[in-house]
Amino acid sequence: MKLFNTRSNQLETFVPLKENEVSLYLCGPTVYNHAHIGNARPIVIFDTLKKVFEALGYTVHYVSNFTDVDDRIIALAKEENKKETDITDFYIDAYNQIRTDLNADQPDSTPQVTQTIPEIIEFISELIKSEAAYEKDGNVYFRVDSVKDYGSLSHQVLEDLQVGARISENVDKENPLDFLLWKDTDDDGIKWQSPWGLGRPGWHTECVVMIHQEFKQHKIDIHGGGVDLRFPHHENEAAQNCALHNHDLANYWVHNAMINLDGVKMSKSLGNVHLAKDLIEVLGSNVVRWLLVSNHYRQLINITDETIEQSKTEINRIETALKQTHLQLDLNDAFNDGLNESMLEKFLEPMQDDLNTPNGVAVIFEEIKQLNQLLRQRDKDYDKISETYRTVLRMLEIMGIEFNFERLTSKQRDLYNQWNKAKSDKNFELADQLRAKLIELGIL
């Protein structure tokens, strides 16, 4: 398996910390609104990565958090006259539904910030003891100078960052780049007692602590997220771990690219944000997932009417071939459990090459073409047809594309046989009626 590591800015061969195991953490959402289609991309990408690792024989421990403490959550709760937990519980359920609708596995664990506060306070205390952090008037800041290579994960030029930081310099900070670990607050929002007074944790600290808690170790294999999180979020996560434990938080930092709509970056101010749930309702789970997964994860996706139509056409082409194959295998009681292992290996080769899904898609369509050719033969090799059919289904399963074809009932078989007889008898009016009924039942 090869992955592009943001840290090294190059492709690297994956070597796990523990043999045949993968520890994978994906930065989850701040739950104050429904997930838009950009939020859905990492769900699909890292679920596919997990499925590829599992297909290769790894055991994957997959964790993705929920940030349920945030000023935006507090403001929304106040605006709607609700408890903050009412807001966060609702959007956590909605986000989990998006995962389900996109055929993504639920993570092994989904920690929440509000459930990790004692550990966060303890972690910040340890940073203060190690002189990597300091307290000022109830606020705690991370001392960026305590890490010698700050900026190296996101490949930032430190001098440029310092110039930018000085524009809105906080006089309480020793260095304009120092960032908040604990925020003193006297507002109406949720807060906790700490050694520094009532307050709330900083965003960058939360994920580090949840990783430590969930994986019971201070370094994991893969830390994932959108490319927009490289700086400052992931840079600051890595810095804290390095300051306290003298090593990086993850061996591989993997980031997916963003999504544009008609060539324009999604923005609430522009009113061009598409909610994932709305697209799924209109297009269906498979089309939306295909739209997100059939492009390489490090390439920006530009969603347009044309790209949507292309995804619809490709999914329809796959479904039509599989439905026809399933029907023929069903009618001839010809299903078997065989797989074409060499073709599956051919599919997994590009998937192991930094999750090259476009080349994986090309292999799938090779097999779809093979299926269609096998079905057109006069003397059909049903063992070969079944093997190819199940191989395609396995490839699609790894890509997170699901089709549920039901076995025919005896009445449906009779209807299908009546249709064939009507065609044979050249009773075209009856044949058309029976065909319409078969289409209505989803058989044709």
pLDDT tens readout for residues 119-166 = 999 999 999 999 999 999 999 999 999 999 999 999 988 777 765 555
Domain termination site, one of 241, 256, 271:
256
Same domain for 291 and 180, yes or no, is: no
Question: Does any domain span residue 102?
Answer: yes
Q: Is-cis flag, bond preceding 195, omega within 30? A: no
Same domain for 219 and 300, yes or no, is: no
Q: Is-cis flag, bond preceding 232, omega within 30? A: yes
Question: Does any domain span residue 272?
Answer: no
Distance CA(298)–CA(254), nearest Å, equals 9
| pLDDT at position 396 over 70 | yes
How distant is the alpha carbon of residue 290 from its chain centre? 13
Distance CA(382)–CA(336), nearest Å, equals 9
Kindly report the pTM of this predicted structure. 0.93
Number of domains in the chain: 3
Question: Does any domain span residue 266?
Answer: no
The pair of three-digit structure tokens given for residue 272, joined into one six-digit string? 């061009």
Confidence of residue 169 (pLDDT cuts 50, 70, 90): low
Same domain for 248 and 384, yes or no, is: no
What mean pLDDT, rounded, does the chain reach?
94
Contact between 395 and 367 under an 8 Å Cβ cutoff? The reply is: yes
| pLDDT at position 442 over 90 | no
The pair of three-digit structure tokens given for residue 397, joined into one six-digit string? 């399963």
The pair of three-digit structure tokens given for residue 106, joined into one six-digit string? 């639920």
| pLDDT at position 252 over 60 | yes
DSSP three-state, residue 264: strand
**How confident is the model at residue 400, as a pLDDT?**
98
Mean pLDDT of 34-46: 97
Question: Does any domain span residue 95?
Answer: yes
Contact between 234 and 223 under an 8 Å Cβ cutoff? The reply is: yes
Count of residues in the chain: 444
Contact between 70 and 130 under an 8 Å Cβ cutoff? The reply is: no
Q: Considering only 386-395, 396-405, 408-417, which range has the smallest mean pLDDT?
A: 408-417
Same domain for 291 and 347, yes or no, is: yes
How distant is the alpha carbon of residue 278 from its chain centre? 18
Same domain for 120 and 28, yes or no, is: yes
| Tokens 């520890």, residue located | 23
Mean pLDDT of 46-67: 98
The pair of three-digit structure tokens given for residue 184, joined into one six-digit string? 């003193």
Question: Does any domain span residue 405?
Answer: no
The pLDDT tens digits of the residues spanning 178-194 come to 999 999 998 989 999 99
**How confident is the model at residue 166, as a pLDDT?**
53
Q: The CATH number of the domain where 241 resides is what?
A: 3.40.50.620
Same domain for 47 and 188, yes or no, is: yes
Percent of the chain with pLDDT over 70: 98
Contact between 260 and 300 under an 8 Å Cβ cutoff? The reply is: yes
**How confident is the model at residue 266, as a pLDDT?**
77
Going through 35-124 in order, the beta strands assigned E by DSSP cover 59-64
Same domain for 357 and 420, yes or no, is: no
Distance CA(46)–CA(222), nearest Å, equals 10
Distance CA(6)–CA(411), nearest Å, equals 57
Mean pLDDT of 242-266: 95
Same domain for 100 and 145, yes or no, is: yes
Residue of 141, 208, 145 lying closest to 179 (CA atoms): 141
Question: Does any domain span residue 270?
Answer: no
Q: Which residues span the domain enclosing 235?
A: 2-256
Question: Does any domain span residue 27?
Answer: yes
Same domain for 173 and 298, yes or no, is: no
Confidence of residue 416 (pLDDT cuts 50, 70, 90): confident
Per-position DSSP letters for 293-339, written without gaps between them: HSS-TTSPEEE-HHHHHHHHHHHHHHHHHHHHHHHHHHHTT------
Question: Does any domain span residue 223?
Answer: yes
| pLDDT at position 374 over 80 | yes
| pLDDT at position 34 over 90 | yes
Same domain for 375 and 320, yes or no, is: yes
- The Cβ of residue 190 has, within 10 Å, a number of other Cβ atoms equal to 19
**How confident is the model at residue 312, as a pLDDT?**
98
| pLDDT at position 274 over 80 | yes
